[in-house]
Amino acid sequence: MVGTGYVGLVSGACFAEFGHDVVCVDKDESKTARLLRGEIPIYEPGLDQLVADNVRAGRLSFTTVLADAVPGSAAVFIAVGTPSRRGDGFADLTYVYAAAEEIARTLDGYAVIVDKSTVPVGTGRQVQRIIRETRPDADFDVASNPEFLREGSAIEDFMRPDRVVIGTTSDRAREVMRALYRPLFLLETPIVMTTLETAELIKYAANAFLATKITFINEIADVCERVGADVQDVAKGMGLDGRIGKKFLHAGPGYGGSCFPKDTRAIAQSARQAGAPLRLVETVIAVNEERKRAMAERVVAAAGGSVDGATIGVLGVSFKPNTDDMREAPSLDIIPALQQAGATVQAFDPAAVHEATKLLPDVRWCSDAYEAAAGADVLVLLTEWNEFRALDLERVRSLLARPIVVDMRNVYRQAEMTAAGLTYHSIGRASIA
């Protein structure tokens, strides 16, 4: 497994749990050193135990040296980052291509080179070319096996996925992939066997669709606020239609994270280059960007029109609960905008403070939700960690300088907030705004 980030480490540990021997390779020496010491470099529920169990069982090991991992492997997974290329939004494939070249140099017997990173159509073919050029004698096939796990529930998602997508036209590679995923075949997990190109596109199309669904309900929430409707009920009424489904219909501050923003940009750019622009997705990207910026204005409005000299308490800064991932989190737009408007921000997050400190240097970090509320003029709930779902509202009220709460995840109900003496603002619930 090349790359031990959110995807590589979870996939490696889960394949080991399936009973396979897995060697995880990462160039990042400090990350690998931590893994070798038994520490988990990311916050992901259950991962520490899974890694420890499989290391103890002798099925999972870590190294920085590719040559210690590749020779003798039936499959070599590429699970390195594919961030947005600076400037144009295309996927930056530098890490993928570098990994392919390095892998090629250490190949010995037949191996399937499996791309698990999210990549544009054509990347698998390019990986094939790179390996062939680097090692004309190599015996290999290339497959695409995009990953659909979600941070925060990554192990469960990997172990019990809705489907597994495998893209390759080689029968030999298919056999290897089948053997790797055998435990899931036994669970009757749907397996989509297809070509490299189709597999690559499935991942982007899925993420672009989910980002569209979120953006759709976010815009419906804006309509709700204008016309006096409740977006929670609209979403419920829509979602009960089996053709629509109730997931991903939660209005909020706009999507963020390590995948949706970069993947929507990447597919939009690739599609435009291919001569088939995705105008819908392009609009989703623009609407979402605008929305994240507009969220700070909501806080300003809730504060009465200005936050200059005010203190804002923020609950949660990671892009979603149960992760420490800060990549493109809405907090990275909202908090600096509030600071620019003259506010002092004090915040608490259960897992992301270590990461967030680097990105939000001027925030005062608190050790719990109540400390973040203490003395604040507005309390903003930005990420719906479970521990923010049952706050002692009387205590919050007594700690706040002014009793104003902006709930960007619709965690609370108007009645309980009013009962606690709090002025409550949420998303798309006009009757209570």
Q: Is 330 in the site for ligand NAD (CB under 6 A)?
A: no
Q: Which of 259, 302, 343, 391 binds ligand NAD (CB under 6 A)?
A: 259
Give min distance, CB of 86 to ligand NAD, in A: 16
Distance CA 83, CA 325 (A): 14
Cβ contact 425:380 at 8 Å: no
Cβ closer to ligand NAD: 267 or 347?
A: 267
The residue count for binding ligand NAD (CB under 6 A) is: 27
DSSP 40: -
- Six-digit token string for 113: 């080179």
Q: Pick the stretch among 15-23, 78-86, 239-247, 336-344 that binds ligand NAD (CB under 6 A).
A: 78-86
End-to-end alpha-carbon separation of the chain, Å? 49
Q: Is 191 in the site for ligand NAD (CB under 6 A)?
A: no
Residue nearest to ligand NAD (CB): 5
Q: Is 80 in the site for ligand NAD (CB under 6 A)?
A: yes
Annotate each residue in 38-77 with x if it binds ligand NAD (CB under 6 A) or - if it does not, as one string.
Answer: ----------------------------------------
Give min distance, CB of 147 to ligand NAD, in A: 4
Give min distance, CB of 322 to ligand NAD, in A: 12
Give min distance, CB of 332 to ligand NAD, in A: 17
Q: Which of 17, 44, 141, 151 binds ligand NAD (CB under 6 A)?
A: 151
Q: Is 4 in the site for ligand NAD (CB under 6 A)?
A: yes
- CA neighbor of 200 nearest in space, from 140, 123, 255: 123
Q: Which of 28, 48, 222, 371 binds ligand NAD (CB under 6 A)?
A: 28
- CA neighbor of 289 nearest in space, from 255, 335, 252, 336: 255
Q: Contacts by 213-216 with C-beta closer than 8 Å and gap 24+?
A: 213/248, 213/249, 214/248, 214/249, 214/250, 214/252, 214/254, 214/255, 214/260, 214/288, 215/254, 215/255, 215/284, 215/287, 215/288, 215/291
Distance CA 150, CA 89 (A): 22
Give min distance, CB of 223 to ligand NAD, in A: 31
If DSSP codes are grouped into helix, strand and coil, which group holds residue 374?
coil
Cβ closer to ligand NAD: 192 or 419?
A: 192
Q: Is 333 in the site for ligand NAD (CB under 6 A)?
A: no
Q: Quick one: 171 exposed, middle or buried, by C-beta within 10 A (0-12, 13-18, 19+)?
A: exposed
Q: Which of 6, 319, 385, 412 binds ligand NAD (CB under 6 A)?
A: 6
CA dist list (Å): 261 to 20, 318, 329: 34, 15, 10
CA dist list (Å): 126 to 27, 332, 416: 22, 35, 57
Side-chain-side CA neighbours of 376 within 13 Å: the count stands at 32
Active-site residue among 24, 224, 259, 366?
259
Secondary structure element (H or E) that encloses residue 423, with its range: strand 423-425
Give min distance, CB of 416 to ligand NAD, in A: 33
Q: Pick the stretch among 20-28, 214-222, 238-246, 357-365 that binds ligand NAD (CB under 6 A).
A: 20-28
Q: Which of 25, 165, 360, 420 binds ligand NAD (CB under 6 A)?
A: 25
DSSP 230: B
Q: Is 27 in the site for ligand NAD (CB under 6 A)?
A: yes
Instruction: Please report, for the chain, how many H helices and E strands are present, in that order.
Output: 17, 13
Residues near 363 by beta carbon (within 8 Å), at least 6 away in sequence: 314, 335, 345, 346, 347, 356, 357
Considering only residues 91 to 150 of the shown chain, the ones binding ligand NAD according to CB under 6 A are 95, 98-99, 102, 117-118, 147, 149
Cβ closer to ligand NAD: 8 or 256?
A: 8
Give min distance, CB of 192 to ligand NAD, in A: 16
Instruction: Outline where DSSP puts E strands in 324-377.
Output: 344-348, 364-365
Q: Is 215 in the site for ligand NAD (CB under 6 A)?
A: no
Q: Which of 1, 8, 111, 113 binds ligand NAD (CB under 6 A)?
A: 8
Tell me whether residue 259 is one of the annotated catalytic residues.
yes
Distance CA 416, CA 147 (A): 41
**What amino acid is encoded at 161 in this protein?**
P
Cβ contact 277:271 at 8 Å: yes
SS3 assignment for 10-22: HHHHHHHHCCCCE
Binding residues for substrate: 148-151, 203, 248-252, 256, 320
Binding residues for NAD(+): 26, 31, 82, 118, 151, 262, 327
Provide the annotated binding site: 26, 31, 82, 118, 148-151, 203, 248-252, 256, 262, 320, 327
Catalytic residues, by residue number, are: 259
Which residues of the chain form contacts with ligand NAD (CB under 6 A)? 2-8, 25-28, 31, 79-82, 95, 98-99, 102, 117-118, 147, 149, 151, 258-259
